[in-house]
Amino acid sequence: MTQQPPHTEAAVLLSRYRQVRDRSLNLIEGLTPEDCQLQSIAEASPLKWHLAHTSWFFETFILAALAQPPAPFDPAFKVLFNSYYVGVGDRHARPERGMLSRPTLEQVLAYRCHVDQHMQQALAAADMPAEQVALVELGLNHEQQHQELMLTDLKHHFSRNPLFPAWRETGDDQRAGSGATAERLHCNGGLVDIGHAGRGFCYDNELPRHRVWLEPFSLASRNVTNGEYLAFIRDGGYQRSELWLSDGWDQVCSEGWHAPLYWQHHDAGWQVFTLHGLQPLNEDATLSHVSFYEADAYARWAGARLPTEAEWEYAASEEQRLEGLFDEVWQWCNSAYLPYPGFQPAAGAVGEYNGKFMINQMVLRGGSLATPTGHSRASYRNFFPAWARWQFSGVRLAWDSV
């Protein structure tokens, strides 16, 4: 670390703490207590729960350790707002989160105030040990992750209401790129280093940095657009089993998939449900809300393939001409979410953060329009099951190079 006076570091962290925490509140502006309680599927939590859980994280891993305050805000919250940390004790079942009308939103906001007040006192003291500082940093990154989930979850919750409510009346979550033609950018590959480098924050799953051999490959200069995906649909993409992985085809048939999540076919053409209500499909915008299965089938149809996460990370670091890496959609990789060679989970309960999910999930790289500014980096490993579609997830094509 740079040789800043300690009080400056503390001031920076305090300022960052306030900024991140405020943004969570900003996200629910204009929403009702009822909106914040919705839970449409087990995988997507109520916004109220996100607000409480992120506070629970600071209370449990920082304040409780400091014994400041000596008692928890409400002992019941320990169970209610634990997500999956078995090491911390019992937890309320995930699909039941929408059943919690109590505590009310108002009480949860009071909980946040309480936690913030004590956290700010703790941060203002210049002598926080490095280990605690690291946990605060983890908590802030954790909160930023949940900020993205607040938007993707809310979008799903609202999509189940035939009135199609809008989070914000103005704006657009169909993000158009530069409009430039997609180019195939060649990468030589070879023996490259992958994983987080440098002194900034990263999750344990981005470590250790390690060597990987890459054959030559090409990567598309931009993400696939809605218009390009529409050509796949019109070419019978959802009816041609030969384009799909076996599990993907089963999913298409059992779920009746015929377009990305949130696309609706009306007489007047395609409409898309967005965070800003129903909108006409923008063909120039970046394709979003597709599963790994759809991403993979599209790539096969297009005579391409999905990149591996190592290819993606290497290219993202080396190639300047790539558009939309971090600000449009997460990009599905044909890599399973597994530990890097030499991976060690963090010590203590926070070691449950990443490692125990390393099965049955595929990696996504980059970031989306819902990712908080400053939260993305090339080594970041996002992960979801192959069927998941409620994230802002899209496609960047890759090819073998000769």
Residue ranges in contact with its own copies by CB under 8 A: 32-35, 37-38, 40, 48, 76, 79-80, 84, 86-87, 92, 96, 98-105, 157-158, 160-163, 165, 191, 210-215, 241-242, 244-249, 292-293, 296, 308, 334-336, 338-339, 341-342, 352, 356-360, 362, 386, 400
What is the distance between the alpha carbons of residues 233 and 215, in angstroms, rounded to a whole number?
32
Nearer to its own copies, 203 or 249 (CB): 249
Q: How far is the CB of 336 from its own copies (least distance, A)?
A: 3
Cα distances (Å, whole numbers) of residue 241 to 10, 126, 251: 57, 62, 11
Nearer to its own copies, 222 or 365 (CB): 365
Q: How far is the CB of 15 from its own copies (least distance, A)?
A: 33
Q: How far is the CB of 152 from its own copies (least distance, A)?
A: 16
Q: How far is the CB of 20 from its own copies (least distance, A)?
A: 26
Nearer to its own copies, 220 or 243 (CB): 243
Q: How far is the CB of 247 from its own copies (least distance, A)?
A: 5
Nearer to its own copies, 132 or 401 (CB): 401
3-state SS string for the chain: CCCCCHHHHHHHHHHHHHHHHHHHHHHCCCCCCCHHHCCCCCCCCCHHHHHHHHHHHHHHHHHHHHCCCCCCCCCCHHHHCCCCCHHHCCCCCHHHHHHCCCCCHHHHHHHHHHHHHHHHHHHHCCCCCHHHHHHHHHHHHHHHHHHHHHHHHHHHHHHCCCCCCCCCCCCCCCCECCCCCCCEEEECCEEEEECCCCCCCCCHHHCCCEEEEECCEEEECCCCEHHHHHHHHHCCHHHCHHHCCHHHHHHHHHHCCCCCCCEEEECCEEEEEEECEEEECCCCEECCCCCHHHHHHHHHHCCCECCCHHHHHHHHHHCCCCCCCCCECEEEEEEECCCCCCCCCCCCHHHHCCHHHCCCCEEEECCECCCCCCCCCCCCCEEECCCCCCCCEECCCEEECC
Nearer to its own copies, 17 or 332 (CB): 332
Nearer to its own copies, 199 or 266 (CB): 266
Q: How far is the CB of 258 from its own copies (least distance, A)?
A: 18
Nearer to its own copies, 25 or 99 (CB): 99
Q: How far is the CB of 156 from its own copies (least distance, A)?
A: 10
Q: How far is the CB of 168 from its own copies (least distance, A)?
A: 14
Nearer to its own copies, 15 or 344 (CB): 344
